[in-house]
Amino acid sequence: MRFFKSLPKEVEESAMVDGCSRVGAIWRMVLPPVALVRGDVYCWGLLMAACLITRIPIAVLYTFFLDRFIAGFTVGAIK
């Protein structure tokens, strides 16, 4: 309950200005931090899962474009 009281009302109001209903504002703006933080304790498993999910596409793209990436750095060094 302390988490909900600590949120500024402007977060809900700005979501409602953008077209969300009150329930939609709570669902989209307030509930996502609650899933990762319970009280003053961070849910490290959920946080690390979110980090892993966001890093996988970056790692795949980096692997595919590694040769072009290195060629871009070395193109100015060769005469």
**Per residue in 9-53, pLDDT tens?**
888 788 888 888 888 877 777 666 756 666 667 778 877 888 888
Would you say residue 5 has pLDDT above 80?
Answer: no
User: What integer is the mean pLDDT of 46-66?
Assistant: 88
Give which of 32, 28, 39 is closest to 5, Cα–Cα.
Answer: 39
Residue 45 CA to residue 7 CA, distance in Å, equals 24
Would you say residue 64 has pLDDT above 80?
Answer: yes
Three-class SS of residue 22?
helix
User: What integer is the mean pLDDT of 67-77?
Assistant: 80
Would you say residue 77 has pLDDT above 70?
Answer: no
